[in-house]
Amino acid sequence: MRNIDRLTIENMDIYYPLTQKKELIKRISKNVFKNGNLLDLGCGTMPYKKLILENSGVTSYVGVDIENPIYQKTLKPDFFWDGFEVPLESSTFDNAILIEVLEHMTKPENTIKELSRLLKKDANLLITVPFLWTLHDIPNDEYRYTPFSLKRMLEDNNFEIINLESFNNWHGSMASMLALYARRGCPSKHRKLLSTLLLPLVKYLMKKDLATTKSNFSEGQMITGIWCLARRK
């Protein structure tokens, strides 16, 4: 993961998406994940493990992911799964996170159903998904979600929605596109100059976006992603 300690022209495409998720996970860890164990499904290299354990009452963390060549060189998950069934007993976990994973699942409703099986009654589930983002992990980039589809999938699988909010609205979405274009879309010979010129505008738009409401979804609204806190019924 690239350095996001401070915003620079080199990281302006990922700085806000990553810091927003880190701040969200830290806040939910402090206020919601108060005890028990936690499942990180689709954990990757477990970038949030330390953050969660240091800021929550969680006593144990279990990372689960699909086998991948990256695990030959990095810390391996506690368990592997096939993308359809997790090899663990039902009603095992008090908390779970699914961070930027659901867009990669070929059968996303099955993933939600599997989480419902693994979580205890009244367990907490935090999900984040992208809406406005580049194609990534090709060819394993399957879906983008609206708040309405995510809400339906969760409620259909025995979850109660506690919070459902967007990451950014129009100002933040424009800032995200400008940053992505500057770092990835424009010719490399112009990248440094364009990034330098656009960085102040990106910062200004993101600051304006802070004042917008994230929990109301209306016709014509633009968002960059969604996060949802749900409780297992």
Residue-wise pLDDT tens digits, 84-136: 999 999 999 999 999 999 999 999 999 999 999 999 999 999 999 999 999 99
Please check whether residue 41 lies inside any domain of the structure.
yes
E strand map for 27-181: 37-41, 60-65, 79-80, 93-99, 119-130, 159-167
Nearest to 111 by CA among 121, 100, 122: 100
pLDDT, position 69: 77
Instruction: Residue 159: give its domain's CATH number.
Output: 3.40.50.150
Please check whether residue 25 lies inside any domain of the structure.
yes
Instruction: Indicate the DSSP class of residue 72.
Output: G
Please check whether residue 200 lies inside any domain of the structure.
no
Nearest to 25 by CA among 64, 54, 5, 62: 54
Res. 215 pLDDT band, cuts 50 70 90: very high
pTM, two decimals, is 0.95
Please check whether residue 2 lies inside any domain of the structure.
no
Please check whether residue 178 lies inside any domain of the structure.
no
Please check whether residue 3 lies inside any domain of the structure.
no
Total count of domains within the chain: 1
Residue 2 has pLDDT above 80, yes or no: no
Residue range(s) defining the domain that contains residue 101:
15-168+217-232
Query: Which range (11-25, 47-61, 66-80, 159-173) has the least confidence?
Result: 66-80
Please check whether residue 80 lies inside any domain of the structure.
yes
Residue 1 has pLDDT above 80, yes or no: no
Please check whether residue 134 lies inside any domain of the structure.
yes
